[in-house]
Amino acid sequence: MPTTSDDCIFCKIVAGELPARIVRQDERTIAFMDIAPATYGHTLVIPRNHTRDLLEIEPEDLQAVAVAAQQVAARASERFGAAGINLINSCGSAAWQTVFHFHMHVIPRYNDDPLRLPWVPAQGDPDEIATAAAQLIG
């Protein structure tokens, strides 16, 4: 039996208490259509077990979500003719997480879709990059 949170909208979908357009499921994950899609075919993949975010998810559930997201992405590419796929996870409200049940967005991309990067990539400061790298090692 999956662990749940009473006030979690995704847990209510897992429990069958709220409707969802489920497109894939297995013993660890459920994939369903996003009700506020960024592009045609935007899907969410979640673990059945309630886990707040990327920092708390069990490695086995994270792996299962990644595999499920890859399968949904392959279907979207094949069946929608998507020119690309974005996999997006937001961890924490500062990173735009709005539902605090770990989830992966599978967003099919099309050459003419309106979705844009949330930042403008630009060359970073080499010293700052080196400092951050040093902090992340080990």
Which residues carry out catalysis?
103
Give the SS3 label for residue 9.
helix
Rg (CA), the chain: 17
> CB neighbours (10 Å) of residue 86?
16
How far, in Å, CA of 28 to CA of 25, rounded?
Answer: 8
User: Which residue matches tokens 């890859």?
Assistant: 70
Q: What is the dihedral of CA 114, 22, 76, 70, to 10 degrees?
A: 110
Closest CA to 104 of 56, 136, 137, 72: 72
- Separation of alpha carbons 6 and 90, rounded Å: 22
